[in-house]
Structure 1
Amino acid sequence: MTTSSPRENKVEDSLDMEFDEEYVPYVPIKRRREEKFQKLLSQRRFPNQQNAGEIDEEVEDSHKAGPKANASLIDQAVEVKKQKMLEAKTDAEKKLEEEKAIMQAVSQRKLLASDRELAKGIIYTDSMTTTLAGRDMIGIAFTGSGKTLAFSLPLVMFALEEECKLPLIRGEGPIGMIRELARQTLESISTMTEYLMRDGFPKLRCLLCIGGISMSDQWHTISEGIHIVVATPGRLIDMLEKKKFNLDMCKFLCLDEADRMIDMGFEDDKQRQTLLYSATMPKKIQDFARSALVRPVIVNVGRAGAANLDVIQEVEYVKQETKIMYLLECLQKTPPPVLIFAENKNDVDDIHEYLLVKGVEAVAIHGGKSQEEREFAIRSFKEYKKDVLVASDVASKGLDFPDIQHVINYDMPKEIENYVHRIGRTGRSGRTGVATTFINMNCSEQILLDLKHLLKEAKQRVPPVLEALEDPLKDLTGGTNNVKTFGVTNDKHTNITNLNPKGCTFCGGLGHRISVCPKLDAQRRQQIGSISRGGAGERGGGEY
């Protein structure tokens, strides 16, 4: 009998295991416990399933690792938030595209070009040749900054040069024209021409074209030849249609408050030097300026539509029924003269009567009064014979009362541009002024949001009633406010101001977008009304 060694026995055992089909490798205790636990768990989840293999497969599938299995819950939450932000950005982009389409629909192109220019395809690429620069110009500056002098002095020099070369005769002229609220501009130009005459220079004849005055009184000026015409749109159109004068020699055109003046074209097909000035110049007018002017010089002082920083703006919540009584208290803030603005004629008359009853020396102007009544009121106020002037918005643009210390807005206007022009009647020429504005529940939320943003921009106190208003544009704009200020550029294709994504590109209001712009909505209603009346639009001929 032979015996084998322990080593031989171990080799034989290993060979046997190699060919043993039923051999099961060793499984660690931890793994066996886990498998048993999973099996029990699957039996509780799927009690109706009989096939153990199916149960095991479903359990295995239910525990397969997902795409974010290796990411922490914090990382997954951050990723979900980013995804939501991307979706919101997409909505914002859609909104901006919609607004761009609206702007394209309401944009005005080549309104300073005549029908003949458009028909012949005449496009000017070089500035007009003059002894001066001859460049077209766009001037944007806050109210009371001296815009009137900036455009009237070059015109006087230009007309003086032409008169010295070859004096005008009967039927000739004008050489230059200014369209705006006209009487004040004429007074400043007349003062300059008088001083020039004292120094031996030729006399320059100026024609005033406004509603309410008889043109026969100025016929001697027309007959001798006109150097300068200062006009309001309605009366100017009337004079041109009646052929009292023509624009054959007109080489200098200035539109003050250009955003309200560019709705009239010109019939001549000759080039002229064009100047556009305004305190409020929204993107709609910027686009027009780039398309209509030739290599314009652009001077921008502050954001177009911003309030004058020399004006202290105070906003107070006053109930509608107590506003007229609260006026007496507000009048105690500063010495006279004081200017009070109201939205409609009836309020102007009521305030005027109330102040007279209370012993306040006051006068009033609005569109319902005759030209003589308006001129008397303005003259009395300027000569300090009256302490208070009550006016509608017709007096909020262009009139210069340098010593006004206080402006009171009896009500908030429907457009933020009118608010800027109203408070701009004080704080002029570097002086400090105060503007008090009454607000209440009768004001629309849109105009209050515009006012809120305007106050913040000017670093003014925002009352709690405005601070509590929710800003619907916060998520859309991200709080950005890209504005280029104090800039001068000679590039035709350079933006006057960068597009402010926080506000309306149509009117410049900071608290709403163009899709809900009240000014655009009012303009559309006016156009629809004009069409329904057969296209017979009204022409304003009055100055105030």
Structure 2
Amino acid sequence: MTSENPTKRRRVQRSPSPPLYNLDDETDDYVPYVPVSQRRQEKLTKLSSLGGTTKGTRDKQREQEEIEDEAKEEERRKERARKERTLLMEAQDVHSRKAEEDSKKTVEQKTKEAEEEILEAIKSRKKLLSDLELAKGIQYTESLKTSWRPPKYIRDRTEQEHHHIREKHAILVEGEDIPPPIEHFVDMKIPNAILEYLRTNRITAPTPIQLQGIPTAFSGRDLIGIAFTGSGKTLAFCLPLIMLALEEETKVPFVRGEGPVGVILCPSRELANQTYENVLTWTSALAREGKYPQLNTLLCIGGISMSDQSHTMSKGLHIVVATPGRLIDMLEKKKFTFNNCKFLCMDEADRMIDLGFEDDVRNIMSFFKRQRQTLLFSATMPRKIQDFAQSSLIRPVLVNVGRAGAANLDVLQVIEYVKQEAKMVYLLECLQKTPPPVIIFSENKNEVDDIQEYLLLKGVEAVAIHGSKTQEERQYAIKSFKSGAKDVMVASGVASKGLDFNEIQHVIIFSMPKEIEDYVHQIGRTGRSGKTGIATTFVNMNTPEQTLLDLKYLLMEAGQKVPPFLTTVEDPRVSQGGMLKGCPVCGGLGHGISNCPKLEETQRRQMASHRPQDEGGY
């Protein structure tokens, strides 16, 4: 007898498979598919069999169905046509229509439309506002209030009398409720200590930009100031800040960690240092009288150690003069704040925005916590910068002495045609025209060094300054040149923006810059403060024809002699029947916005900044 194995598997019972339908089987559940057309026919047959259905009803229904079928067919036909039509064909149609419209327009209309498109793109840039103001949509509608008021006899003048004074000094103004012009420093209610200092330096009456600019700034108004080089713009924006800081210090003395009241931004270290020295001179003149407190001014530029100014940082700050990069660094490190800062001035404002500082300026704006008074000053401020600035300011007043971008009429401009290989030899002849000091400008850093080396070999005491020099080398060059230890300074464009050198009688432009604005700034190093000077410029076949045309029109505007080789340079806009108006981007008179070298350079820089850098490996 065998026993069952307990480990023996049991047979698994599977569930039965579902039955398959057999199309041959006749079951009650299966319903065969009937085509739509067959079902429609059966429905019609059924309707026709009904006694209540008349022949007319059937005809109407049939007609209705035919109409629906035709509509569906038409829709299918249109859909096929749409698929067959390509985007290229549509683009060709648009292009042909546009070409037909363009053929009816004149050259002048086409040029105007192209310029308007470019200007519209420029205007689309964000305003110069802080991040907080942009995020919250904060908009100020009223200017800052100040305690300053002009004397009563000036307030009592009629608008016609104000207009007559401005006309006499060739001052153009734009804006609403413009403060009156004042022809004497005493009537501006400036402290006697500063008045005495100005008199000792033979400054007895305000220049046109000061005559209208200082009262406007004293009134707390935002200001756009445009005047030729050497016209006294520095005093026009420094004096209002000094008076504002003096008033704040008199109310409640500043202690460590407080301030500044205002900041002055400059595009170059040299210009910032020069402005700082001017502010120190004027504030020291105030303090020497004994009636006014000492104002603390901080120089904030790259290339110098901020620890050298620790004595200033240890006290309350009133004024900061800075370049954008170092200022951002100090603000981010919280060395000081702009919590109570209510005055911002940008010297050479158009250069600040165009030289790639725009993002830095916006960054600086983000540190402001309150409304501020904004002043923008420059010798060359094209229309597009003016429009952009006005959109960012609060009820601004535009003060313009002469055309923006025009050359200083106190400078005699001499244009010489000199071959490239003969420039060095001819340079020595040009140096004999006037006694030193003389400035020589070149656009190329290597050429600056070559010129200095050549002059030193010829026994000429020369120094050089350009962007690749260290800060110590740049300071030594400027100091030795200003003191008279060196007779000639060879410089790149870095020395052309706002720097003031005493007794400069002659400027030599070794290589003509492409942008006419740079030329205006360079020749403006002479003929300052009412004095006269000479500017000699070398041009040859390497100079772009467009630059020569800008130069030709600038000479004609200033009433200067136009050399014969320049008179032969023809303006293509004349042959095309276009309007001869200046470029709104750079102010050049010899071209329009469509072929502006400044705009092309800006676009090139933007493309270069967005181009990925080749790191060369992993």
Q: Shorter-chain TM-score: what band?
A: 0.7 to 0.9
Preserved contact between residue 110 and residue 291 of structure 1 (Cα < 8 Å): no
Identity %: 68
Partner Cα distance (1:428, 1:110) in 2: 36
Which residue in 2 is equivalent to 1:175? 261
Give CA deviations for 1:366-425 in whole Å, capped at 9, x if unaligned.
Answer: 111111111111111111111111111100011101310000000101211110000000
Cα 1:394/1:103, change in 2 over 3 Å: same
Residue identity opposite 2:560 in structure 1: Q
Partner Cα distance (1:116, 1:90) in 2: 47
Map 1:311-390 to 2 at 5 A: 311-390=411-490
> Does residue 1:127 correspond to 2:217, yes or no?
no
Which residue in 2 is equivalent to 1:45? none
Displacement of 1:457: 0.7
> Does residue 1:434 correspond to 2:525, yes or no?
no
> Does residue 1:306 correspond to 2:406, yes or no?
yes
Partner Cα distance (1:477, 1:405) in 2: 41
Partner Cα distance (1:375, 1:216) in 2: 18
Give CA deviations for 1:278-336 in whole Å, capped at 9, x if unaligned.
Answer: 11111111111221111112211000000000000000010000101110000111111
Give CA deviations for 1:331-380 in whole Å, capped at 9, x if unaligned.
Answer: 11111110000111111111111111111111111111111111111111
Q: Bigger CA drift: 525-534 or 137-146?
A: 525-534
> Does residue 1:512 correspond to 2:591, yes or no?
yes
Give CA deviations for 1:430-456 in whole Å, capped at 9, x if unaligned.
Answer: 000000000011111111111111111
Partner Cα distance (1:317, 1:89) in 2: 41
Displacement of 1:90: 2.6
Displacement of 1:99: 0.6
Which residue in 1 is equivalent to 2:274? 184
Corresponding residue SS for 2:572: coil
Which residue in 2 is equivalent to 1:75? none
Give CA deviations for 1:70-99 in whole Å, capped at 9, x if unaligned.
Answer: xxxxxxxxxxxxxxxx99973211211111
Partner Cα distance (2:324, 2:503) in 1: 29
Partner Cα distance (2:338, 2:577) in 1: 46
Displacement of 1:533: 3.7
Corresponding residue SS for 1:323: helix
Displacement of 1:253: 0.6
> Does residue 1:199 correspond to 2:293, yes or no?
no
Residue identity opposite 2:374 in structure 1: T
Residue identity opposite 1:295 in structure 2: R
Which residue in 2 is equivalent to 1:255? 346
Which residue in 2 is equivalent to 1:152? 238
Preserved contact between residue 340 and residue 370 of structure 2 (Cα < 8 Å): no
Which residue in 2 is equivalent to 1:522? 601
Which residue in 2 is equivalent to 1:97? 113
Which residue in 1 is equivalent to 2:312? 221
Corresponding residue SS for 2:307: helix
Preserved contact between residue 254 and residue 316 of structure 2 (Cα < 8 Å): yes
Preserved contact between residue 499 and residue 525 of structure 2 (Cα < 8 Å): yes
Give CA deviations for 1:180-231 in whole Å, capped at 9, x if unaligned.
Answer: 1201111111011111111121111100011110011112212312100000
Cα 1:416/1:88, change in 2 over 3 Å: farther
Q: Bigger CA drift: 112-121 or 207-216?
A: 112-121
Corresponding residue SS for 2:314: helix
Q: Bigger CA drift: 416-425 or 198-207?
A: 198-207
Displacement of 1:125: 1.0
Partner Cα distance (2:591, 2:577) in 1: 11
Partner Cα distance (1:281, 1:294) in 2: 19
Which residue in 1 is equivalent to 2:552? 452
Cα 1:256/1:446, change in 2 over 3 Å: same
Partner Cα distance (1:441, 1:89) in 2: 36
> Does residue 1:270 correspond to 2:370, yes or no?
yes
Cα 1:274/1:406, change in 2 over 3 Å: same
Aligned-residue RMSD, C-alpha: 1.9
Which residue in 2 is equivalent to 1:60? none
Partner Cα distance (2:577, 2:524) in 1: 28
Cα 1:290/1:435, change in 2 over 3 Å: same
Corresponding residue SS for 1:225: coil
Cα 1:126/1:359, change in 2 over 3 Å: same
Corresponding residue SS for 1:411: coil
Preserved contact between residue 382 and residue 587 of structure 2 (Cα < 8 Å): yes
**Taking structure 1 as the reference length, what is the TM-score of the superposition?**
0.77
> Does residue 1:211 correspond to 2:227, yes or no?
no
Residue identity opposite 1:126 in structure 2: E
Preserved contact between residue 174 and residue 226 of structure 1 (Cα < 8 Å): yes
Which residue in 2 is equivalent to 1:14? none
Partner Cα distance (2:249, 2:275) in 1: 21
Displacement of 1:476: 5.7
Preserved contact between residue 225 and residue 377 of structure 2 (Cα < 8 Å): yes
Preserved contact between residue 110 and residue 288 of structure 1 (Cα < 8 Å): no
Give CA deviations for 1:151-197 in whole Å, capped at 9, x if unaligned.
Answer: 00111111011000011111111101101120111111101111111
Corresponding residue SS for 1:224: coil
Give CA deviations for 1:246-287 in whole Å, capped at 9, x if unaligned.
Answer: 211111111111112241211134210011101111111111
Partner Cα distance (1:430, 1:243) in 2: 43
> 5+ residue gaps in structure 1?
1-85, 481-501, 535-544
Which residue in 1 is equivalent to 2:512? 412
Partner Cα distance (2:104, 2:236) in 1: 46
Preserved contact between residue 141 and residue 395 of structure 2 (Cα < 8 Å): yes
Partner Cα distance (1:436, 1:366) in 2: 20
Residue identity opposite 1:232 in structure 2: T
Preserved contact between residue 233 and residue 261 of structure 1 (Cα < 8 Å): no
Partner Cα distance (2:293, 2:115) in 1: 53
Q: Which of 572, 575, 582 is matched with 1:503 structurally?
A: 582
Partner Cα distance (1:194, 1:161) in 2: 16
Q: Bigger CA drift: 327-336 or 104-113?
A: 104-113
Displacement of 1:479: 6.2
Corresponding residue SS for 2:143: coil
Partner Cα distance (1:255, 1:455) in 2: 29
Which residue in 2 is equivalent to 1:37? none
> 5+ residue gaps in structure 2?
1-101, 149-218, 614-618
Corresponding residue SS for 1:298: strand
Residue identity opposite 2:253 in structure 1: P
Corresponding residue SS for 1:274: strand
Residue identity opposite 1:437 in structure 2: T
Corresponding residue SS for 1:105: helix
Q: Bigger CA drift: 101-110 or 288-297?
A: 101-110
Which residue in 2 is equivalent to 1:421? 521
Which residue in 1 is equivalent to 2:226? 140
Q: Bigger CA drift: 469-478 or 363-372?
A: 469-478
Partner Cα distance (1:430, 1:516) in 2: 35
**Count of aligned positions:** 430
